[in-house]
Structure formats: C-alpha cells, structure tokens
Amino acid sequence: MKILLKNGRLIDPIGEIDTVTDVLIVDGIIQKISQNLSVAKEDESIDLTGKIISPGFIDMHVHLREPGFEHKETIDSGSRAAASGGFTAVCCMPNTNPVIDDPSVIKWIQERSLIVEDGIVDVFPIAAITKGREGKVLAPMMELAEAGALAFSDDGSPVENAEVMRRALEYASMIDKPIIQHAEELSMAKGGVMNEGYISTLLGMQPIPSIAEGIMISRDLHISQYTKAQYHAAHISTAGSVELIRSAKKKNLRVSCEVTPHHFSLTDNAVRSFDTNTKMNPPLRSQEDVEAMKEGLRDGTIDVIATDHAPHSFDEKQVEYLYAPFGIVGLETAVGLAITELIHTNFLTPKQLIEKFSVNPRNILHLPRIKVQEGEVANFTILDLMQEWIVDIHHFLSKSKNSPFHGWKLKGKAIGIINKGKMKLFL
C-alpha cells in the first residue's frame, strides 16, 4: 500500500504540529511528511484540501455485546461501525455473557477481533472489577491484566461496597491500571427511568436524582485519595460531578472522567417524546448540566469524549418507556455531534477535540502514544469539519439502530481512517 495524503491539515497535539502538508504512507508506515510530495500514477493520491489529518481516535467506552448478546451487536459489526464513525480503536466493556472476568474471555475477544471483516480497528478488552459484575468478590485482576485487560469496570452497575472499591483500587494500582466506575448510588436511583426535575414530575416518571451520581463520585474520590490509585469516572452527566472532578484535580488526585455526546447535546426535555431512544443511564439531564459538560470540556476538567455505545434491538426498545432498556448507539454519530456542538460553537478548538478523542484516552489507559513521525506506524483519523450530513439510522453499520439523533443535520464528519496498514474512506 502506497498512499499520498495531499494538502491535509496535520494536527498532532503531542508533537505540537499544526500545518498543511503531505503525508506519504508506504505499507502502513509513514515514509515522508513534507509539502509537494508526489507518487507514481499507479499509487493512490488523495486530495485532503480543507480536511484534517489527526492521530487515530479511540472510543474507550463501547459495548460490543459479544459474547452472549449477538442479536444486539458483534465484534465484527461494532468494529465496522467504529471505522465508519472515525475510530481506529475501541475498548469493549465487560457486561457480556459470560462476563469478562476470566482471562479466557479476554483471549477469545482478542482472537475474534483479528478475524473480523476488514480488521482495521483495534479492539481492547476492559475486564470486570468483580466476579460476575456482582460487586461482591474481586475478579482475578492480576491474571486479567496479564491477559490484556487495559482497565477494570463493572460498567452498567456501580461497585456499591466501599471496601470492595478500596481493594479494587489498591490492586489496580499495583499493576498501574485505572478503575472505571459507573457512578450511581442505587438506593437513590433504583427504579428510576429519567432525570429528576420538572419534566419527570410533568410526565409522572420515576426519577433518578443527579445527586445519585455525585454521591458515588464523592465517595470514590475519598477512597482514591486514600489509596493514591488511578480512578476514572465513566459518562458523567451532572454539573455537580464536574465540580467534584475539578476540585479533585486541583488536589492532584489521579482522577479523570469522560462525557458522552448525548450528554452535551440533549436535555431531559427530549423525554417528552416518550421515544425510548432518549432513555439512557445516566439519564439526560437539565440544560444547566449540559452547559456544565461543555464548560468542563473547555477547561480540561473532562478529559475524554466517549460514546457509551449501547446497542439494543428494535424489539427491545419498542416497548413502554418504563420497560425499555437503557442505552443508545453512538459510534457513528459521536464525531459529528462533537464537531457540531463543540467546534462550531467555539467551545473547543480542533486540537482540543483531538486531545479528547485520541491523546487523553490513550494516556489514561497507558496505551502507547501515536507518533506522527517518519518511520512510525500510520494511525490516522481524517476529519471534514465542514461536511453537512443528515443522520440516517438505516445507513448505520451497527447491528442496532437505537439512536435519538435520526434526522439530525450535523456539520462535521470523520471521512476516513488509516490503521494496521489498511485504509477506509467515506468521502
């Protein structure tokens, strides 16, 4: 493979590069970065005038559902959806069947990811904190890390027991892995289906109060400070959570967090439609919370944008709101929503967006940094900030189509990826 990327704006936050240039890639390796490069006629040359060449994006919070729930998603379909959305890597959460609490499941996922249709997307498993994700007994964390787990999470369920969380953080710190918490105080949130507030009262819906998230994060930050371990709060959604993380960072705690695109793009007002694709956990919050998410991204309190891609079949979502499962798909809309809601509204610069999608998640997960240098492996996401498009769930490559963004007009899109010596373009 010999590919010449012509006239693209190359942005690499780590190498402090922001320039219009050409990039020559030969057999998956960056051979030359310079202006006015050329290739033979039989080789491929792609004009990227007005487009951005970025280090490859990674989604550190994805539910691929396999093994056990292949009717919702598979590693193959999820990988293709990730590629379509502009991601060169994903991290799959452990709420599968069987749960990723045994090294054999990690090895199975790793082997399965190597035989998918095009194999361009890296798949990294995240293992369970506790056996069966039941919150009672720690999973064999050392063995799971040795098998390839990048982090530990019981996502979908919080670790409610404070002593179990303490021990998990202590063990994780021995092998320098982060603990990723689904922050939710279940005694306050159990049975709830949407954010507590005016809309939940109006609709007569069982609520999930915002403090259910903040109470759990506050507890965990105390434990993290005590253990000096690395803690990551998944899919934060409230202004209170942002403030807690901001304060913890000022104390130099080893803490990080992520936000999903739906939590900076939608409010609980969307639930008025009774569309079950507006049901997720944590729920859509208030306008004040949405503004706090954007401000947290702008000032660096929120480190990562992750999708919490949660596929469900049509039949599962086509029920009364109360009985529908939580979650939406996000891999194929995340980048478009982020560019539309954050860059074109001047909350983030392109460089900051790349940090949230590429640099920071890799740092948190202790993955090797992508080096945009001659002689290094090419791992790129290509962006068009100006492309306007309509979200159409019927064109999704994900097996499931449960998205509240169908019909939305977005400005900005990932139009290609390069990874593992392969290229996919969606021009």
For residue 378, give the H/E element and its range: none
| DSSP element (H, E) containing 237 | none
Residues 104 and 139: beta-carbon distance below 8 Å: no
Element (H, E) at 112: helix 103-113
Query: Which residues are within 8 A (CB) of 320 and not within 5 positions of it... i.e. 6 or more apart?
Result: none
Report how far Cα 236 is from the mean position of its chain's Cα atoms: 12
By C-alpha distance, which of 37, 23, 27 is closest to 1? Answer: 27
- DSSP secondary structure letter of residue 127: B
Per the annotation, the verdict on 308 as an active-site residue is yes
Closest CA to 63 of 136, 133, 144, 134: 133
Q: Which residues, including other chains, have CB under 8 Å from residue 117's CB and lie 6 or more apart?
A: 76, 79, 80
Pair 49, 92: CB distance under 8 Å: no
Q: 81 with 112: CB under 8 angstroms?
A: no
Which residues have C-beta within 8 Å of that of residue 424, sequence separation ≥ 6? 83, 84, 118, 120, 416, 417
Q: What are phi and psi of 243, to 5 degrees?
A: -65, -40
Which tokens is 176 given? 């320098």
CA-to-CA distance for 405 and 83, rounded, in angstroms?
19
Alpha-carbon distance of 358 to 117, in angstroms, equals: 24
207 sits in which H/E element: strand 207-208
HSE-CB of 206 using CA atoms within 13 angstroms:
9
Q: Which residues pair with 404 in a beta bridge?
A: none
32 exposed, middle or buried (CB, 10 Å; 0-12, 13-18, 19+)? middle
Residue 34 neighbours by CB distance under 10 Å: 10
CB–CB of 162/223 below 8 Å?
yes
Of the residues 308, 315, 384, 392, only one is catalytic, namely 308
- Cβ contact 137:130 at 8 Å: yes
- Residues annotated as catalytic (active site), given as ranges: 308
